[in-house]
Amino acid sequence: MKKEPADPVGAHLEYYGYETRPMPDGWMFAAHPTRPDFCYRKFPFGWRLSASFIVGKSLRGLDDDFYAGINRVNEKADIVKFMLARDSDGDFMLRTRAVFHGEYRRRDFGLFMETWHADLQLIGELPRVPEEAEQERSPEETEEENARVVN
């Protein structure tokens, strides 16, 4: 009988091109060259995956649109929950979470990861929050920039 690795999820993720490493708080960190990085951990009920994305210090007047966008992507997502929170520095963070219930099974976890990746693509449907430098430009600077792009 084939022996199961100590971290079967990590082994599976490495097959997908992720590099995994333990973190001091008991979570594992998974990094990929082209996909979003995330953390995962085994719990009694299964495996939890979590990823966070920095939005910025402010939503730049897009508060209602951003909250409505999160509601829309939560309606479309199959397994991922999307939440808006603030980190310890006060920056807005888009947090995502999904749970693979039960024990690791290769086929089932593979389908779960395909769905995780598809759900994370929904982030592209959220309103784009302008960076501070973009927000602080005068109308004349914006017009000049647009003219350079057109010409």
Instruction: Specify whether domain 8-150 bears CATH 3.40.50.300.
Output: no
What is the pLDDT of the chain when averaged over all its residues?
A: 87
Examine the pLDDT at 151 and tell me if it is beyond 90.
Answer: no
Which carries the bigger pLDDT value, residue 123 or residue 58? 123
pTM score = 0.81
pLDDT at 128: 87
Q: Where are the domains of the chain?
A: 8-150
CA distance 129 to 131: 6
pLDDT bracket for residue 134 (50, 70, 90): very low
In angstroms, the CA 40 to CA 47 distance is 7
pLDDT of res. 26: 94
What is the per-residue pLDDT across 81-97, written as a single tens digit (0 to 9) for each? 999 999 999 999 999 99
Residue 126 has pLDDT above 80, yes or no: yes
Span 44-77, pLDDT tens digits:
999 999 999 999 888 888 889 999 999 999 999 9
pLDDT of res. 139: 46
Which of 23-46 are b and which e, b meaning 16 or more Cβ less than 10 Å from the residue's Cβ?
A: eeeeebebeeeebbebbbebeeee
Confidence of residue 132 (pLDDT cuts 50, 70, 90): low
Q: In what order do the strands lie in the sheet with 92-101?
A: 19-22, 28-31, 38-43, 46-56, 92-101, 81-86
**Whose structure tokens read 């395909």?**
114
Mean pLDDT across the stretch 20-39? 96
